[in-house]
A = this chain, B = another copy of it.
């Protein structure tokens, strides 16, 4: 069984990612850290599902809320 599922996240360190959360919330930020539960540290994080993106600063997202992580469009 391949075990490099997290290799992608390693490549995304210090770049902008979109994180879709359970319930539909969408967060954008710079990926600074992660662990095997997919707990994430995002710098310059913003909630995108409000009419206007809301700045959150450096946040910790608890991994069990994560649905998927994708690169942020430029």
**Out of B3, B45, B61, B70, which one reaches A67, CB within 8 Å?**
B61
A6–B1 touching, CB < 8 Å? yes
Please tell me how many copies of the chain the complex holds.
7
- A67 engages B68 (CB within 8 Å): no
A2-B14 Cα distance, complex, nearest whole Å: 12
Could you say which of B6, B7, B70 contacts A56, with CB atoms under 8 Å apart? B70
Given known A-B contacts A27-B68, A70-B56, A1 and B62 have beta carbons under 8 A apart: no
Most-contacted residue by chain B among A7, A33, A70 (CB, 10 A): A70
Are B33 and A62 in contact (CB-based, < 8 A)? no
Q: What sequence of 0s and 1s flags, for each residue 9-46 of chain A, a beta carbon within 8 Å of any chain B beta carbon?
A: 11001000000011001010000111110111100010
